[in-house]
Structure 1
Amino acid sequence: MSIERARKLQQPMEKQQEQQQVKVKVQKKQWVSTGEKVLYSMATGLVVIASVFMVQFSSTTDTLNRDIQKMEQKIGQQQSVNDNLAYEAKELSNPDRILQIAKDNGLEMQNAEVKQAGVVGN
């Protein structure tokens, strides 16, 4: 019996040794190291910041271009109005028209010559 008893006592010790061998932790090698993760994070951050800057710059440029186009349209309209007013002033300063208005208001011509007045100061 002592041999059987010794075997029984020895069997649990063997199981404990087997269990201890199974419990040994194996450290796995990481695919990406911590330093690489930091570098990748910084690079990604820089790319995001550069993208935001580019979008903001494009938006500002687009806004300025639209403002310039609106201003050019206003300038074109004002030039058209100015040309129309200059043409109308030329028509109104026609000597025949002025003589006709003078006759209608009772003014008489003493000399037959009609001269166009020049610009004041010349």
Structure 2
Amino acid sequence: MDQFEFEDETAKATGAPLEIKKKPRFKIFKGSTARKIPSRTERRYDDERRRLIADGTLVDHPSVSGLLVFTRDYESNSASMAAGVISGGGNFSGPEKWFEVGSGEPFNDWLGKRL
């Protein structure tokens, strides 16, 4: 399975698409980190982040203040939603912000070659 990385300042996540289609669902892997304080004024994914904190999927990082850590894999509706949950908001073009581990190819380009 090809893996992709997303970074937003100190937050760093690894994930992968769950299917090959135009707008695939996207999995964030356990151990990935997310910003505790949102990076954007637009808080599009606040409700989802609150739900993930409430159910224990996102918890305070044990050694790095300002970060949350995923305690289990999390399946989002899209690469954009995954990026928004990690950054704490914003309207990201997720396919342009996730990069293949190793090659650095943007997810958008990677996916386009497979459709």
Instruction: Confirm or deny a common fold (TM above 0.5).
Output: no
TM-score by length of 2: 0.13
Which has the larger helix fraction? 1
Which has the larger strand fraction? 2
Structure with the larger RCO, 1 or 2 (CA within 8 Å, 6+ apart): 2
Report the structure number with the largest CA radius of gyration: 1
